[in-house]
Structure 1
């Protein structure tokens, strides 16, 4: 299949999953994860209608930013070291992996220096996997209270990476828990400045349909669009 055919197939699957959940597929943003993908392949995805790209490596993202115009939205979806924030602070549209106070402080500092407010998602380690980044669920609401009102960042939702599973149904509870946590956090943080929990970034190539059924507003798809990485 061509990249355009893969994009169309993924969009059809998102629409079908949304229909099963009684949702409008227009509520769901497809983020094409382009880590290690050459710009030429990204241009094929762009020609197929992709306007949101997700990068995992800050310096690779920095090098790709100039390749596209202002209509492309850049998402940083990987673990971000504090000393790499400088590479993405000016051009990134959404940081999916805010997971610790030191990172929040550096994002706030760098974005403020650029005259920006950087939208962020708090990464949550719902399943408690030792190898995964993210805050444990019980620390999310206290963290939101800590960063509320910081001038250089705005928290607009939550993100999680589900465990690998042969059957996507096995990870449905992870996505459901993130949605429930977001609902609880929205209640407890209502009125806090800079906290607007309207997005759930969850679901990747192997499980995005279940994520959509459970309320994802952003799905991060790499392999199903660009094929296996070398």
Structure 2
């Protein structure tokens, strides 16, 4: 199956899942995760109208961004919105701030503080998501689900950081249904955090990022409005 056909199939699956959750497919944003993808394949995805790009590593984002700059018309390249998805080391913060529009993987207060301090030097702001370890796997980053509300309260105090939502990664499993409970838990935390923000008279968070190639339909059914898909696009898995 060609990439264009895979994208069409994924869109159809998103449409069905959105319908099951009582929402419009337009409510769901798809982030194309380009980790191991060839530049030629990434270009094909972009030419199909997918402009939100996710990368796990700062150096890879920098390399691919320069290659894509050469491959795409300037007006198309400027439409790209880059998402940092992987664990961000504090010594990579400066470069990340230059490359990304949204850091989805803020997983501790030290990182949040470093981001805030660096942004203060330029006077710029950065959109971020708080990463929650919904699978509770020791190999994954993210705050514990029971700590997410406390972290939300702390992060909103930091200048130059716009907390736009929550991000979670389900357990690696061949059975997507096994992640439903974890996704529902994060959706409930998201609602509670937004209730707190509304009570404080603050802007609520619009983004609930959860679901990848193997489980994005279940994630959407449980409230995700942003999914991160790579393998199902570039390898046909999921």
Matches within 5 A, 1:48-127: 48-66=48-66, 67-68=68-69, 69-127=77-135
What is the TM-score when the length of structure 1 is the normalising length? 0.93
Asked if structure 2 preserves the Cα contact closer than 8 Å seen for 1:31 and 1:221, the reply is: yes
The equivalent residue for 1:205 is: 213
Q: 1:153 aligns with which of 157, 161, 186?
A: 161
Higher helix share: 2
1:191 to partner: Cα distance? 5.7
Greater shift, 170-179 or 190-199, is seen at 190-199
Give the superposition deviation at 1:127. Answer: 2.6
- The aligned runs of 1:1-230 (5 Å cut-off) are 1-66=1-66, 67-68=68-69, 69-190=77-198, 196-227=204-235
Conserved 8 A contact 1:97-1:122: yes
**Post-superposition CA distance 1:128-177 (Å, at most 9, x none):** 11111100012111112212142221111101110122221111011100
TM-score, normalization by structure 2: 0.90
CA distance in 2, matches of 1:9, 1:155: 32
Which 5+ residue runs of structure 2 have no aligned equivalent? Answer: 70-76
Which stretch of the first structure deviates more once superposed, 52-61 or 85-94? 85-94
Task: Give aligned pairs, total.
Answer: 229
> Any unmatched runs of 5+ in structure 1?
none
| Structure 1 range deviating more: 106-115 or 205-214 | 106-115
